[in-house]
């Protein structure tokens, strides 16, 4: 159970409904997941976070599937269960195959390992990497 009451559409203020409507229209779905229903506890955070996500996850120089996989990489590194599960589902919907997931997780694992190897030995940065 969340630490705040989830706000369902039927109980939402007009300000919150406007965001919910935009989420459903943008994602071509009739469903709002719990993350947004929790943020609705504080409407300015709901609106700001949705506007930011909508901007950041839109197609651009990177395609949406790559963005979803980056989201998984960060969420796995931070150990956020909600985000790992929701973005793994999102990436699969966006076309991620099981082979792609396997390689993604392998890279996430190795990066977490080598980050700590570099930390542990306090490796000094090579001059060419400072340019």
The distance of closest approach from Cβ of residue 42 to a copy of itself in the complex, given in angstroms and rounded to an integer, is: 3
Please, where are the H alpha helices in the chain?
14-27, 34-39, 43-57, 64-78, 81-93, 98-121
The distance of closest approach from Cβ of residue 44 to a copy of itself in the complex, given in angstroms and rounded to an integer, is: 7
Neighbours of 65 (CB within 10 A): 17
Handedness of CA 115, 116, 117, 123 (dihedral sign): positive
Per-residue x/- mask for a copy of itself, residues 66 to 95, rule CB under 8 A? xx-xxxxxxxxxxxxxxxxxx-xx------
Angle (CA) 39 27 77, round 5°: 60
With respect to a copy of itself, which residue has the nearer C-beta, 14 or 102? Answer: 102
Does 119 engage in binding with a copy of itself (CB under 8 A)?
Answer: yes
92-111 binders of a copy of itself (CB under 8 A):
97-111
13-52 binders of a copy of itself (CB under 8 A):
31, 33-35, 38-39, 41-42, 44-45, 48-49, 52
């Amino acid at each position: 159970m969340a630490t705040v009451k989830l706000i369902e559409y039927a109980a939402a203020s007009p300000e919150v409904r406007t965001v919910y409507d935009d989420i459903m229209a943008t994602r071509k779905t009739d469903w709002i997941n719990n993350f947004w229903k929790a943020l609705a506890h504080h409407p300015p955070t709901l609106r700001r976070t949705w506007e930011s996500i909508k901007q950041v996850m839109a197609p651009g120089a990177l395609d949406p599937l790559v963005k979803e996989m980056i989201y998984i990489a960060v969420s796995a590194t931070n150990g956020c269960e909600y985000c790992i599960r929701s973005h793994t589902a999102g990436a699969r919907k966006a076309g991620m195959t099981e082979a792609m997931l396997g390689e993604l997780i392998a890279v996430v694992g190795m990066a977490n390992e080598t980050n700590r190897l570099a930390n542990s030995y306090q490796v000094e940065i090579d001059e060419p990497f400072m340019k």
